Amino acid sequence: MNRIAIVEDLAIVREGLRVLLTKEPGFSVTHSPNPIALFRESWTTPPDLVIMDKVMTGMNGVEAIQEIKKRWNNTKVLIFTAKYGEENIVRAFQAGANGYLLNNADPDELLFAVTHLLAGYYYISPAILPTVIQGYCRIEKTEIDNVSGYKLSTRERELLKLIAEGNKNKTIANILCISLKTVETHRYNLMKKLDIHNVADLTVFANRVGMI
């Protein structure tokens, strides 16, 4: 039985979601008017999925997602909202959301998104995919523009990002499918080009140019 928690301050939306989901076999559904009420409930077993709006009373959506992930690391979060601006979407996924669905979606799409998240996948409404892709391309272009003055190769940019994310040489070698010796050579060349001599400063640089 999959445990689903609905967090929505509009009673009519909350009840509509509850009615729709309880009709499906294998779903145990609870609901709360806001994140604070959700956290106050006595959970012997954490919910498998939380469906929540991006804007609610008592706690904003980003804070709520972060708190859910802090309390229940394996719980999936589906944002169900009318807010589809690029910043809203990016911040939700950065906070740990697993799916983003517009609240004008039809019931079949909602059920599709729910089952996909419960199966371990991510889901984004097709209606907002152009916004997501444009935002991703903008971020990538910013990264390239910011590091282009240093004449870093594609491999060096990949290495910089992986080092700044905290990966060790052996892990990087496995990710990039290259030898440990090659990683060490690229790392030496990267630090020489940037005139940076430790990982902490590499991380600061990567953050400054928008790579992490």
Amino acid at 163: I
pLDDT of residue 121: 95
pTM higher than the cut 0.75: no
pLDDT of residue 140: 55
Instruction: Kindly list the distances between the CA atom of residue 152 and the CA atoms of 118, 139, 157, 159, 164, in Å, as whole numbers in the listed order.
Output: 41, 17, 6, 10, 15
Q: Residue 57 CB: number of other CB atoms within 10 A?
A: 10
pLDDT of residue 136: 64
Helix boundaries (H) for 149-195? 154-164, 169-176, 180-194
- Mean pLDDT, the chain cut into blocks of 10 residues (212 residues total): 94 94 94 91 91 82 90 95 79 89 93 96 88 66 55 81 88 88 89 86 80 66
Choose which CATH entry (3.40.50.2300, 3.40.50.1820, 3.40.190.10, 3.30.1360.30) describes domain 2-129: 3.40.50.2300
* 17-27 burial: b if 16+ Cβ within 10 Å, else e: bbebbeeeeeb
Q: In the chain, what are the domain boundaries?
A: 2-129, 142-208
Architecture of the domain whose range is 142-208: Orthogonal Bundle (1.10)
